[in-house]
Amino acid sequence: MEAMKILVTGGTGYIGSHTVVELIQSGHEVEILDNLYNSDAGVLLKIAELAGVEPKFYEVDLRDKTALKQVMRDGGYEAVIHFAGLKAVAESVENPLTYYENNVGGTVNLLEAMEEFGVRKLIFSSSATVYGDQEAPFVETMETGRAIANPYGRTKYMIEEIIKDLCKADEGFEATILRYFNPIGAHESGLIGEEPKGIPNNLMPIIMKVATGEMAELLVCGDDYETTDGSAERDYIHVMDLAQGHVAAIAKMQPGVTVYNLGTGRGVSVLEMVKAFEKVSGSPLTYKIVGRRAGDLAVVYADASKAERELGWKATRTVDEAMRDTLKFLGLSARD
Ligand code: NAD
Ligand code: UD1
Protein backbone atom coordinates (compact mmCIF):
# COMPACT_ATOMS: atom_id res chain seq x y z
CA MET A 1 0.00 0.00 0.00
CA GLU A 2 1.18 3.44 -0.90
CA ALA A 3 1.52 5.72 2.15
CA MET A 4 0.00 9.16 1.66
CA LYS A 5 -0.05 12.55 3.32
CA ILE A 6 -3.72 13.10 4.14
CA LEU A 7 -5.68 16.09 5.48
CA VAL A 8 -8.58 14.92 7.65
CA THR A 9 -11.31 17.53 8.17
CA GLY A 10 -13.41 16.86 11.28
CA GLY A 11 -10.58 14.63 12.51
CA THR A 12 -11.08 15.44 16.20
CA GLY A 13 -14.73 14.29 15.98
CA TYR A 14 -16.18 10.86 16.71
CA ILE A 15 -15.66 8.95 13.44
CA GLY A 16 -12.70 11.12 12.38
CA SER A 17 -10.62 10.42 15.49
CA HIS A 18 -11.03 6.64 15.20
CA THR A 19 -10.18 6.81 11.50
CA VAL A 20 -7.07 8.91 12.15
CA VAL A 21 -5.75 6.22 14.52
CA GLU A 22 -6.23 3.54 11.87
CA LEU A 23 -4.71 5.70 9.11
CA ILE A 24 -1.56 6.40 11.15
CA GLN A 25 -1.26 2.75 12.11
CA SER A 26 -1.47 1.85 8.41
CA GLY A 27 1.52 4.09 7.67
CA HIS A 28 -0.17 7.28 6.44
CA GLU A 29 0.87 10.77 7.50
CA VAL A 30 -2.17 12.61 8.84
CA GLU A 31 -2.96 16.23 9.61
CA ILE A 32 -6.27 17.37 11.09
CA LEU A 33 -8.40 20.45 10.43
CA ASP A 34 -11.38 21.10 12.72
CA ASN A 35 -13.07 24.15 14.25
CA LEU A 36 -13.74 22.22 17.50
CA TYR A 37 -17.45 23.07 17.34
CA ASN A 38 -18.39 19.52 18.33
CA SER A 39 -15.09 18.09 19.56
CA ASP A 40 -12.19 18.71 21.89
CA ALA A 41 -8.48 19.14 21.12
CA GLY A 42 -7.76 16.80 24.06
CA VAL A 43 -8.41 13.88 21.72
CA LEU A 44 -5.10 14.62 19.94
CA LEU A 45 -3.08 13.30 22.91
CA LYS A 46 -5.25 10.18 23.02
CA ILE A 47 -4.66 9.62 19.31
CA ALA A 48 -0.93 9.98 20.02
CA GLU A 49 -1.16 7.41 22.82
CA LEU A 50 -2.90 4.92 20.53
CA ALA A 51 -1.05 5.53 17.27
CA GLY A 52 2.35 6.71 18.51
CA VAL A 53 2.21 10.01 16.61
CA GLU A 54 0.37 13.22 17.45
CA PRO A 55 -1.12 14.57 14.23
CA LYS A 56 -0.51 18.21 13.36
CA PHE A 57 -3.69 20.15 14.11
CA TYR A 58 -5.20 23.26 12.52
CA GLU A 59 -8.07 24.92 14.37
CA VAL A 60 -9.73 26.25 11.24
CA ASP A 61 -13.34 26.64 10.15
CA LEU A 62 -14.13 25.46 6.61
CA ARG A 63 -16.08 28.67 6.12
CA ASP A 64 -12.85 30.66 6.53
CA LYS A 65 -11.60 30.46 2.94
CA THR A 66 -8.34 32.30 3.58
CA ALA A 67 -7.25 30.08 6.47
CA LEU A 68 -8.37 26.95 4.63
CA LYS A 69 -6.38 27.85 1.51
CA GLN A 70 -3.29 28.52 3.59
CA VAL A 71 -3.51 25.02 5.13
CA MET A 72 -4.04 23.45 1.72
CA ARG A 73 -1.19 25.42 0.12
CA ASP A 74 1.35 24.62 2.82
CA GLY A 75 0.34 21.01 3.44
CA GLY A 76 1.39 19.23 0.25
CA TYR A 77 -1.45 16.71 0.73
CA GLU A 78 -2.20 13.90 -1.66
CA ALA A 79 -5.71 13.32 -0.34
CA VAL A 80 -8.44 14.77 1.86
CA ILE A 81 -10.87 12.78 4.01
CA HIS A 82 -13.80 15.07 4.71
CA PHE A 83 -15.73 14.36 7.92
CA ALA A 84 -16.33 17.98 9.03
CA GLY A 85 -19.97 18.94 9.21
CA LEU A 86 -22.95 19.48 11.45
CA LYS A 87 -25.12 16.40 12.02
CA ALA A 88 -27.97 17.15 14.44
CA VAL A 89 -31.15 16.35 12.53
CA ALA A 90 -33.61 18.33 14.69
CA GLU A 91 -31.32 21.37 14.72
CA SER A 92 -31.16 21.24 10.92
CA VAL A 93 -34.96 21.50 10.77
CA GLU A 94 -34.89 24.60 13.00
CA ASN A 95 -31.86 26.26 11.39
CA PRO A 96 -31.65 24.99 7.81
CA LEU A 97 -29.52 27.89 6.55
CA THR A 98 -26.83 27.17 9.14
CA TYR A 99 -26.69 23.60 7.83
CA TYR A 100 -26.52 24.63 4.18
CA GLU A 101 -23.87 27.25 4.92
CA ASN A 102 -21.72 24.99 7.06
CA ASN A 103 -22.06 21.64 5.29
CA VAL A 104 -22.63 22.64 1.66
CA GLY A 105 -20.78 25.99 1.74
CA GLY A 106 -17.91 24.52 3.77
CA THR A 107 -17.53 21.66 1.30
CA VAL A 108 -17.54 24.00 -1.71
CA ASN A 109 -14.73 25.99 -0.06
CA LEU A 110 -12.81 22.77 0.57
CA LEU A 111 -13.20 21.58 -3.02
CA GLU A 112 -12.12 25.01 -4.33
CA ALA A 113 -9.00 24.94 -2.17
CA MET A 114 -8.23 21.37 -3.30
CA GLU A 115 -8.59 22.36 -6.97
CA GLU A 116 -6.44 25.45 -6.51
CA PHE A 117 -3.56 23.51 -4.96
CA GLY A 118 -3.83 20.33 -7.04
CA VAL A 119 -5.15 17.95 -4.35
CA ARG A 120 -7.36 15.61 -6.33
CA LYS A 121 -8.31 12.69 -4.10
CA LEU A 122 -11.32 13.04 -1.79
CA ILE A 123 -13.23 10.72 0.53
CA PHE A 124 -16.56 12.17 1.68
CA SER A 125 -18.67 11.12 4.69
CA SER A 126 -22.18 10.66 3.38
CA SER A 127 -25.11 8.90 4.97
CA ALA A 128 -27.73 6.25 4.32
CA THR A 129 -30.20 9.12 4.66
CA VAL A 130 -29.66 9.99 0.94
CA TYR A 131 -31.70 6.90 -0.04
CA GLY A 132 -34.85 8.48 1.42
CA ASP A 133 -37.82 6.23 2.17
CA GLN A 134 -37.08 3.30 -0.15
CA GLU A 135 -37.17 -0.31 0.92
CA ALA A 136 -34.09 -1.91 2.49
CA PRO A 137 -31.60 -3.27 1.68
CA PHE A 138 -30.21 -0.05 0.24
CA VAL A 139 -27.98 -0.60 -2.80
CA GLU A 140 -25.58 2.01 -4.21
CA THR A 141 -27.37 1.89 -7.60
CA MET A 142 -30.69 3.06 -6.10
CA GLU A 143 -31.94 6.54 -6.86
CA THR A 144 -31.06 9.12 -4.21
CA GLY A 145 -32.45 12.50 -3.19
CA ARG A 146 -36.17 11.75 -2.97
CA ALA A 147 -38.15 11.93 0.29
CA ILE A 148 -35.19 12.85 2.48
CA ALA A 149 -36.75 13.73 5.82
CA ASN A 150 -34.69 16.76 6.86
CA PRO A 151 -32.23 19.51 5.78
CA TYR A 152 -29.26 17.63 7.29
CA GLY A 153 -29.96 14.71 4.99
CA ARG A 154 -30.42 17.04 2.02
CA THR A 155 -26.98 18.60 2.63
CA LYS A 156 -25.49 15.10 2.19
CA TYR A 157 -27.40 14.58 -1.06
CA MET A 158 -26.45 18.04 -2.38
CA ILE A 159 -22.78 17.55 -1.55
CA GLU A 160 -22.79 14.19 -3.37
CA GLU A 161 -24.20 15.95 -6.46
CA ILE A 162 -21.62 18.76 -6.23
CA ILE A 163 -18.81 16.19 -6.07
CA LYS A 164 -20.24 14.40 -9.12
CA ASP A 165 -20.33 17.68 -11.08
CA LEU A 166 -16.75 18.47 -10.11
CA CYS A 167 -15.60 15.04 -11.29
CA LYS A 168 -17.30 15.64 -14.65
CA ALA A 169 -15.53 18.97 -15.03
CA ASP A 170 -12.13 17.73 -13.82
CA GLU A 171 -11.54 14.25 -15.17
CA GLY A 172 -8.44 13.67 -13.05
CA PHE A 173 -10.36 14.12 -9.79
CA GLU A 174 -10.83 10.95 -7.72
CA ALA A 175 -13.75 10.94 -5.27
CA THR A 176 -15.07 8.19 -3.06
CA ILE A 177 -18.41 8.74 -1.37
CA LEU A 178 -18.95 6.55 1.70
CA ARG A 179 -22.55 6.20 2.86
CA TYR A 180 -22.45 5.32 6.54
CA PHE A 181 -25.26 3.47 8.24
CA ASN A 182 -25.44 3.82 12.07
CA PRO A 183 -21.98 4.10 13.66
CA ILE A 184 -21.73 2.98 17.30
CA GLY A 185 -19.07 1.82 19.76
CA ALA A 186 -15.62 3.07 20.66
CA HIS A 187 -11.95 2.18 20.27
CA GLU A 188 -11.32 -1.15 22.01
CA SER A 189 -8.86 0.59 24.37
CA GLY A 190 -11.74 2.69 25.73
CA LEU A 191 -9.56 5.80 25.28
CA ILE A 192 -11.64 7.45 22.57
CA GLY A 193 -15.34 7.25 21.78
CA GLU A 194 -18.41 9.36 21.11
CA GLU A 195 -18.63 12.53 23.20
CA PRO A 196 -21.34 14.68 21.67
CA LYS A 197 -21.82 18.15 23.09
CA GLY A 198 -25.40 19.03 24.11
CA ILE A 199 -28.47 16.82 24.49
CA PRO A 200 -28.23 13.69 22.34
CA ASN A 201 -30.95 12.60 19.91
CA ASN A 202 -29.43 9.40 18.57
CA LEU A 203 -30.06 6.01 20.12
CA MET A 204 -26.60 5.00 21.30
CA PRO A 205 -25.65 8.34 22.93
CA ILE A 206 -29.00 8.20 24.76
CA ILE A 207 -28.33 4.62 25.94
CA MET A 208 -24.94 5.90 27.19
CA LYS A 209 -26.56 8.75 29.16
CA VAL A 210 -29.12 6.39 30.73
CA ALA A 211 -26.29 3.99 31.63
CA THR A 212 -24.34 6.74 33.42
CA GLY A 213 -27.48 8.05 35.16
CA GLU A 214 -27.44 11.40 33.33
CA MET A 215 -30.80 10.56 31.76
CA ALA A 216 -33.59 8.72 33.54
CA GLU A 217 -34.84 6.51 30.73
CA LEU A 218 -34.73 5.68 27.06
CA LEU A 219 -37.90 6.38 25.14
CA VAL A 220 -38.29 3.61 22.56
CA CYS A 221 -39.98 5.35 19.64
CA GLY A 222 -42.58 2.94 18.29
CA ASP A 223 -43.40 -0.73 18.89
CA ASP A 224 -45.92 -1.05 16.07
CA TYR A 225 -43.61 -1.31 13.04
CA GLU A 226 -43.74 -4.38 10.82
CA THR A 227 -40.62 -5.90 12.33
CA THR A 228 -40.10 -9.00 14.46
CA ASP A 229 -40.59 -7.17 17.79
CA GLY A 230 -42.37 -4.03 16.50
CA SER A 231 -39.47 -1.63 17.13
CA ALA A 232 -37.55 -0.06 14.22
CA GLU A 233 -34.46 -1.72 12.75
CA ARG A 234 -31.15 -0.08 11.83
CA ASP A 235 -27.78 -1.23 10.59
CA TYR A 236 -25.43 -0.53 13.53
CA ILE A 237 -21.78 -0.58 12.48
CA HIS A 238 -18.86 -0.56 14.92
CA VAL A 239 -16.89 2.68 14.52
CA MET A 240 -13.62 0.71 14.20
CA ASP A 241 -15.02 -1.25 11.27
CA LEU A 242 -16.05 2.08 9.77
CA ALA A 243 -12.56 3.50 10.38
CA GLN A 244 -10.99 0.51 8.62
CA GLY A 245 -13.40 1.04 5.72
CA HIS A 246 -11.70 4.41 5.12
CA VAL A 247 -8.25 2.81 5.10
CA ALA A 248 -9.49 0.30 2.51
CA ALA A 249 -11.10 3.07 0.45
CA ILE A 250 -8.04 5.35 0.35
CA ALA A 251 -5.97 2.47 -1.04
CA LYS A 252 -8.35 2.00 -3.98
CA MET A 253 -9.06 5.49 -5.31
CA GLN A 254 -9.88 5.85 -9.01
CA PRO A 255 -10.79 8.74 -11.34
CA GLY A 256 -14.43 9.83 -11.19
CA VAL A 257 -16.92 9.17 -8.41
CA THR A 258 -17.23 5.81 -6.67
CA VAL A 259 -19.88 5.18 -4.01
CA TYR A 260 -19.83 2.56 -1.25
CA ASN A 261 -22.24 1.73 1.53
CA LEU A 262 -20.46 1.10 4.82
CA GLY A 263 -22.78 -1.05 6.90
CA THR A 264 -23.05 -4.58 8.20
CA GLY A 265 -25.93 -5.68 5.95
CA ARG A 266 -28.10 -6.56 8.94
CA GLY A 267 -30.94 -4.76 10.73
CA VAL A 268 -31.08 -4.76 14.55
CA SER A 269 -34.15 -3.48 16.39
CA VAL A 270 -34.21 -0.87 19.16
CA LEU A 271 -35.38 -3.50 21.65
CA GLU A 272 -32.57 -5.83 20.54
CA MET A 273 -30.14 -2.98 21.22
CA VAL A 274 -31.58 -2.61 24.71
CA LYS A 275 -31.20 -6.38 25.30
CA ALA A 276 -27.62 -6.36 23.98
CA PHE A 277 -26.74 -3.53 26.36
CA GLU A 278 -28.33 -5.35 29.31
CA LYS A 279 -26.58 -8.61 28.45
CA VAL A 280 -23.13 -7.06 28.10
CA SER A 281 -23.42 -4.72 31.11
CA GLY A 282 -25.28 -7.13 33.36
CA SER A 283 -27.56 -4.22 34.39
CA PRO A 284 -31.11 -3.35 33.39
CA LEU A 285 -31.65 -0.30 31.16
CA THR A 286 -34.73 1.73 32.03
CA TYR A 287 -36.91 2.32 28.99
CA LYS A 288 -40.47 3.19 28.07
CA ILE A 289 -42.33 2.59 24.81
CA VAL A 290 -43.68 5.79 23.23
CA GLY A 291 -45.08 6.72 19.82
CA ARG A 292 -43.12 6.73 16.58
CA ARG A 293 -40.65 9.57 15.93
CA ALA A 294 -41.61 11.78 12.99
CA GLY A 295 -39.67 10.99 9.81
CA ASP A 296 -38.45 7.56 11.00
CA LEU A 297 -38.38 4.56 8.68
CA ALA A 298 -39.25 1.04 9.91
CA VAL A 299 -36.24 -0.80 8.53
CA VAL A 300 -32.89 0.52 7.30
CA TYR A 301 -29.92 -1.67 6.40
CA ALA A 302 -27.22 -1.78 3.76
CA ASP A 303 -26.45 -4.05 0.93
CA ALA A 304 -22.77 -4.03 1.88
CA SER A 305 -21.57 -6.36 -0.88
CA LYS A 306 -19.98 -3.74 -3.16
CA ALA A 307 -17.42 -2.67 -0.54
CA GLU A 308 -16.57 -6.30 0.14
CA ARG A 309 -16.20 -7.10 -3.56
CA GLU A 310 -14.22 -4.02 -4.58
CA LEU A 311 -12.42 -2.90 -1.42
CA GLY A 312 -11.98 -6.28 0.25
CA TRP A 313 -13.56 -4.73 3.35
CA LYS A 314 -16.39 -5.93 5.50
CA ALA A 315 -17.65 -5.19 8.97
CA THR A 316 -16.61 -7.96 11.38
CA ARG A 317 -17.43 -6.61 14.85
CA THR A 318 -20.73 -7.39 16.61
CA VAL A 319 -23.20 -5.14 18.42
CA ASP A 320 -22.12 -6.87 21.67
CA GLU A 321 -18.52 -5.83 21.03
CA ALA A 322 -19.68 -2.26 20.39
CA MET A 323 -21.58 -2.32 23.70
CA ARG A 324 -18.51 -3.68 25.54
CA ASP A 325 -16.22 -1.00 24.03
CA THR A 326 -18.76 1.73 24.81
CA LEU A 327 -18.91 0.61 28.46
CA LYS A 328 -15.11 0.67 28.61
CA PHE A 329 -15.07 4.19 27.19
CA LEU A 330 -17.61 5.28 29.83
CA GLY A 331 -15.51 3.71 32.59
CA LEU A 332 -18.32 1.27 33.39
CA SER A 333 -17.61 -2.42 33.69
CA ALA A 334 -18.98 -5.14 31.46
CA ARG A 335 -20.43 -8.30 33.04
CA ASP A 336 -17.25 -10.47 32.79
P1 NAD B 1 -18.71 14.78 14.90
O2 NAD B 1 -19.58 15.95 15.17
O3 NAD B 1 -18.17 14.02 16.05
O4 NAD B 1 -17.48 15.23 13.96
C5 NAD B 1 -17.59 16.26 13.01
C6 NAD B 1 -16.47 17.27 13.26
O7 NAD B 1 -16.57 18.32 12.30
C8 NAD B 1 -16.52 17.91 14.64
O9 NAD B 1 -15.28 17.71 15.30
C10 NAD B 1 -16.80 19.38 14.36
O11 NAD B 1 -16.17 20.23 15.30
C12 NAD B 1 -16.24 19.53 12.95
N13 NAD B 1 -16.83 20.62 12.16
C14 NAD B 1 -18.15 20.89 11.96
N15 NAD B 1 -18.28 21.98 11.17
C16 NAD B 1 -17.02 22.39 10.85
C17 NAD B 1 -16.50 23.47 10.08
N18 NAD B 1 -17.30 24.34 9.46
N19 NAD B 1 -15.16 23.60 9.98
C20 NAD B 1 -14.33 22.74 10.60
N21 NAD B 1 -14.76 21.71 11.35
C22 NAD B 1 -16.10 21.54 11.48
O23 NAD B 1 -19.52 13.82 13.91
P24 NAD B 1 -19.22 12.33 13.45
O25 NAD B 1 -20.28 11.46 14.01
O26 NAD B 1 -17.79 11.99 13.66
O27 NAD B 1 -19.53 12.47 11.90
C28 NAD B 1 -18.52 12.70 10.93
C29 NAD B 1 -19.16 12.85 9.57
O30 NAD B 1 -19.89 11.66 9.26
C31 NAD B 1 -20.17 14.00 9.46
O32 NAD B 1 -20.05 14.58 8.19
C33 NAD B 1 -21.50 13.31 9.60
O34 NAD B 1 -22.53 14.02 8.99
C35 NAD B 1 -21.23 11.99 8.91
N36 NAD B 1 -22.13 10.92 9.34
C37 NAD B 1 -22.23 10.61 10.67
C38 NAD B 1 -23.12 9.63 11.09
C39 NAD B 1 -23.28 9.31 12.56
O40 NAD B 1 -24.27 8.66 12.93
N41 NAD B 1 -22.37 9.68 13.44
C42 NAD B 1 -23.89 8.93 10.15
C43 NAD B 1 -23.74 9.25 8.79
C44 NAD B 1 -22.85 10.24 8.39
C1 UD1 C 1 -30.58 9.53 12.39
C2 UD1 C 1 -31.04 10.48 11.33
C3 UD1 C 1 -30.16 10.33 10.11
C4 UD1 C 1 -28.71 10.52 10.48
C5 UD1 C 1 -28.33 9.58 11.61
C6 UD1 C 1 -26.93 9.81 12.11
C7 UD1 C 1 -33.44 10.85 11.73
C8 UD1 C 1 -34.81 10.61 11.20
N9 UD1 C 1 -32.43 10.27 11.03
O10 UD1 C 1 -30.70 8.20 11.90
O11 UD1 C 1 -30.54 11.29 9.14
O12 UD1 C 1 -27.88 10.26 9.36
O13 UD1 C 1 -29.23 9.75 12.72
O14 UD1 C 1 -26.82 11.02 12.76
O15 UD1 C 1 -33.24 11.52 12.73
N16 UD1 C 1 -34.67 5.78 18.77
C17 UD1 C 1 -35.50 5.59 19.86
N18 UD1 C 1 -35.45 6.49 20.88
C19 UD1 C 1 -34.62 7.59 20.87
C20 UD1 C 1 -33.77 7.78 19.75
C21 UD1 C 1 -33.82 6.86 18.72
O22 UD1 C 1 -36.26 4.62 19.91
O23 UD1 C 1 -34.64 8.38 21.81
C24 UD1 C 1 -34.72 4.82 17.66
C25 UD1 C 1 -35.13 5.46 16.35
O26 UD1 C 1 -36.51 5.42 16.19
C27 UD1 C 1 -34.39 4.56 15.34
C28 UD1 C 1 -33.17 4.06 16.10
O29 UD1 C 1 -33.43 4.30 17.49
O30 UD1 C 1 -35.18 3.46 15.01
C31 UD1 C 1 -31.88 4.78 15.71
O32 UD1 C 1 -32.10 6.17 15.83
P33 UD1 C 1 -30.92 7.23 15.61
O34 UD1 C 1 -29.74 6.81 16.41
O35 UD1 C 1 -31.47 8.59 15.83
O36 UD1 C 1 -30.50 7.01 14.08
P37 UD1 C 1 -31.41 7.09 12.75
O38 UD1 C 1 -32.78 7.53 13.02
O39 UD1 C 1 -31.23 5.82 12.01
Distance (Å, whole) CA 85 – CA 265: 26
Is 152 considered catalytic here? yes
Ligand 1 center–CA 89 separation, angstroms? 12
- If phi > 0 it is left, if psi is from -120 to 50 it is alpha, else beta; for residue 17 that is alpha
Distance (Å, whole) CA 266 – CA 19: 23
Distance (Å, whole) CA 263 – CA 315: 7
Distance (Å, whole) CA 334 – CA 329: 11
* pLDDT score at 323: 97
Listed residue (312, 309, 310) closest to 254, CA to CA: 310
pLDDT tens, 77-135? Answer: 999 999 999 999 999 999 999 999 999 999 999 999 999 999 999 999 999 999 999 99
* pLDDT score at 334: 73
* pLDDT score at 251: 98
Evaluate if residue 14 carries a pLDDT over 90. Answer: yes
Protein residue closest via CA to atom 2 of ligand 2: 89
Alpha-carbon torsion (156, 157, 161, 162), positive or negative: negative
Evaluate if residue 216 carries a pLDDT over 90. Answer: yes
Record the pTM.
Answer: 0.98
Selecting among 58, 99, 152, 157, the annotated active-site residue is 152
- In DSSP terms, 103 is beta-bridged to none
* pLDDT score at 169: 98
Q: Which residues line ligand 1 (CB under 6 A)?
A: 10, 12-16, 34-39, 61-63, 83-87, 102, 106, 125, 127, 180, 182-183
pLDDT bucket at 336, cuts 50 / 70 / 90: low
**What percent of the chain lies above the pLDDT cut of 90?**
95
Ligand 1 center–CA 246 separation, angstroms? 15
Q: How far is CA 120 from CA 11, 143, 183, 225, 255, in A?
A: 19, 26, 27, 44, 9
The CB of 89 under 6 Å from ligand 2? The reply is yes
pLDDT tens, 141-157? Answer: 999 999 998 999 999 99
- What amino acid occupies position 21? V
Distance (Å, whole) CA 89 – CA 59: 25
Among 68-77, 188-197, 284-293, the least confident range: 188-197
The CB of 243 under 6 Å from ligand 2? The reply is no
Protein residue closest via CA to atom 14 of ligand 1: 85
Instruction: Report whether 315 contacts 246 (CB < 8 A).
Output: no
The CB of 206 under 6 Å from ligand 2? The reply is yes
* pLDDT score at 195: 86
Q: What is the mean pLDDT of the chain?
A: 96
Q: Nearest 5°: CA angle at 106, between 253 and 4?
A: 30
**What is the best residue among 87, 127, 163 to mutate for testing ligand 1's pocket, by most ligand atoms within 8 Å of CB?**
87
pLDDT, average across residues 36-45: 97
Ligand 1 center–CA 34 separation, angstroms? 9
Ligand 2 atom closest to the CA of 300, numbered from 1 = 39
Distance (Å, whole) CA 256 – CA 172: 7
Entry field: residues in the chain = 336
